[in-house]
Structure 1
Amino acid sequence: MMHQYNDGLPILLSYQTDWNAETAEIGLCEKSRRIGLSWGDAAERVAYAAEGRGTVYYMSYNKDMTETYITDCADWARQIGEVASEIIEDEIIVDEKEIKRFRIDFPSSQSIIALPGNARMLRSKGRPGDVVIIDEAAFCDDLDELLKAAVAITQWGGKVRIISTHNGDENPFNELITDVRAGKVPYALHRITLDDAIEAGLARRICTVKGDTWRPGYAEAWREAQFRKYRDSEAADEELLCIPRHGAGAWLSRVLIESCMVDAPVVRFYGTKEFNGWPEHSRRAEMQDWLNAHIAPLVAGLDPLRRHVIGGDFGRSGDMSSYAPMEIGETLRRTVPFLMELKNCPHAQQVQAVRYVCDRLPRFAGGAFDARGNGSYLAEAMVDAYGSMIEPVMSTEPWYREHMPPLKAAFQDDMIAVPRHEDVLDDLRAFRIIRGVPRLPEGKTDKKGERHGDSGMAIALGLFASSHTGTDYGYQPAHVSADDERQAGPHWLRRGHEDGPPAHVDRFTLMGRHDFRRGVGW
């Protein structure tokens, strides 16, 4: 039975049928988000493969996209009465890596195959009539190589379809569109803004699907509501009106980040001017009460069987300090169960708060902390407390070059989960390609001028810690008195070795290290 909508509109709206009717060898579409173009495209590809005209290869940047498309194809096959197999999920080896793919087979001997956006997947493909679809092309890695492999199939009568929202004016997708408009390449170009889709009936269709009552002004109100969801006009223009943001170059896309977000708290402590003026023992007591009230319930709920690490990006008064505990799951998926953020908080209380978390993380396996500038104080205190389990990180260009690609891979492979929060999204989107290296730019990264990618860096450091620090050693925090805890010096200082570290402590590893509160140095 076909999809039925009681709104007087055709099942596929005009922009969907126009795209499906495109006959050019290579067709591009720059589009608004969430207008159902890929869903409508799936209907055309089912008919195409079922009639035996060719095999369809669908490619995008992550598994969720490919799985959604193949599910839409299976649904359309049932709706239009085409005989097709159930969805077949298997794995193939590419470059010594296991790659998951999805497939639907038809009696015509043709198939629809959904694959990750890897250029090597298209090598040796391209029989007459085959079609390659690259969806959300602006977010695929190495789009140039992917296009080069895809275009080759047209030599034997194949076709290529490229669909995407924009991702900055310097993105290869936008550069390709610019070349098309300049007449440099003979590709067909479609452009579908949110306004185009509304004119074709999108708002009316959404009203029907949601079960709302259609009334005068509904479309205008719905449109306004979509634009209000964006914090700045440039983002709205890019996502909804097909106007690429100038100099955007976001390294992690909104779509990719949101696909890995889960409900998890972001807990914040704000140090007032009054708080900062209190004696240290009063600040410590106040912080302890806050930790007991807000952090203790969170760490108490963590899985005691799983290893945990932590990443931390330090800030004093200008930026927010952000600390990201991270669970290493049974499948090695990394999950941030909560974020602890401290604003305008003295060094001693930041050490207190971070140690509070680390002492209570189940099977604590280590941490990585920003060691630049004032961050060196906290990183050094953590090394004093936990030794080689802690990695102080100087986030230089070589460090970013080597250790940021795994962060993007974790998002692409759905191997990380982060809190669903607007600031976390903005912080992760703050990473830019600078001189060919993904990193945070200089200066504030949010519109309010209050953040510098803080939680994004904490999450990156947590992921780094999960792969570069040692395994857990059944660490149990020492039970010390409040007076001893206030000293917060190295363990051996708190155990009576006032003349120096005991014999088992390597003096070389302590060279240049100081306990700033007691004035002790070696």
Structure 2
Amino acid sequence: MSVPIRDDDLRSGRAISEAEWKRLRQESLTGLPAGLDPGNPDVLLPYQRRLLETTATNEVTILPKSRRTGVTWAAGADAVLSSAAARGAGGMDSLYIGYNLDMAREFIDVCGMWAKAFSQAASDVGEFLFDDVNEADPTDTRRIQAFRIAFASGFEIVALSSRPRSLRGKQGYVIVDEAAFHDDLEGLLKAAFALLIWGGKVLVISSHNGESNPFNKLCQQVWAGAKPYAIFQVDFDDALQDGLYHRVCLRTGETWSPEGEAAWRAKIIAIYGDGADEELFCIPSEGTGAWLLPAVIEACMRRDIPVLRWEMPANFAYKPEADREAMARTWCESIVGPHLSRLDPRSPSFFGQDFGRVSDLSVIWPVQIVASLYRETPFVVELRNIPFAQQKQILFWIVDHLPRFSGGALDAGGNGAAQAEYAAQKYGEHVIAQVKFSIEWYRENMPKLKETLEARGMALPADTYTLEDFKLIKMIDGIARVPRTRTTEKGEGAAEGKTKRRHGDAAIAGALAHFASLMPVVSYAYTPAYGITEPERYGRGLERTDGHAGRFVADLGIDPASGRSLW
């Protein structure tokens, strides 16, 4: 098995210069390298180009993928460009690790094709043998078969054993293929990351192999921000959107059509059957369990955090507007107001709101980032059967009293869209996130919340229903989210069998508050180093009736009504 390289390439014995390396890499991203099919204007599909763009700027890249999308094929191009380059252009050895011999052969064949296409001087593909010594028993010496391509740059592409010790003494760009199927992925990655110390790179590619697999755990950690690696996902539909079926038609000689693509998609999904979610759509199996252990949730709970609940009968919505406004204002001042003393006037404030009108609750969850990045929850507000106008009134009253208000996130789906838009209009579209829940939102943000809760980095109220809401979140198709099932809570009329429905409302509001606290802080008002604290201002009756302007003059120690100094 050899790759035909032109004789003049072999005689030239040249390494790629930095300028030529940049040109070839750009050609691989945008055009057609010499030697490939001239009828194919873009040799790499968009997601394959994104792979090369990501590895070029990140030390570690994680890529969960669908089967047979050509990701490894693109990684071969990356390996050739890395190993054919001179040292001054960033060249290095490429070390490929699959879990069996056939994968190694296939990858070296792909790299040989790229080497020919890029017209680089490379040796014939050959086998070599080396001693793989068991360090625990030096007498146990195994002969491990591996493959390589040598370049005039002095660097090589080498296919290695999947044993962690195969990386000992090596340096370069490590490509771990189908990582979820390696026997000791954690040990392998530990050995691979050691190469980063001297300027190496690591690419981890895989389809999923169960929710509890180390590869899925690694993905969750990266999405949570616990690992400083780059990550992006390519599922079957992502690949189709970027032209995968067009490429299949080019290969098979068929004519592309939307109907043909739809039929082909359905056929492939039918072939995989029950395994399609995991094999094609990057959803690890065994994903129906609890998201967080109850002990983790309870460890974050504190008895001094109140849940402030307000519920009104259905006919309240048809009371005169002045009466409704007065009752809502009185409730805010008498019930919510005293708890504002829990807020630190020096710390930035955020909030999240999960909106509900009839079937579900509206939950407003304020949070402050205090010392050591701890997310302090001063109180939580739950509103049931409260009219739209009064929900808006209550939210604005609370936000106007939050010291150093820096951002909020609202459920912008369904009935919540209007409330989210009103908030963005009042406080700014860069300060308010209007969240439309999606699989991508849950995938990116729920691992971050879990990471915070497991580290006891956010306070939760010690409340039975809040606990049940957080327990309701399940791993569904590999993603933490609230299932369609609703729970019930017993109200004051429980003796008559009266129940009230919940749908994880408090947990979603808490997740939105956590999401808001990660948003970039936008500074929009003057905060004095000295002056009356928020509780003192509230105690003197200096309610901010004019929004930000009222806050500004109150912070300066000026009575908004009279304009006189308060000192």
Shorter chain as denominator, the TM-score bin is 0.3 to 0.5
Greater radius of gyration (CA): 2
TM-score (structure 1 length as normaliser):
0.45
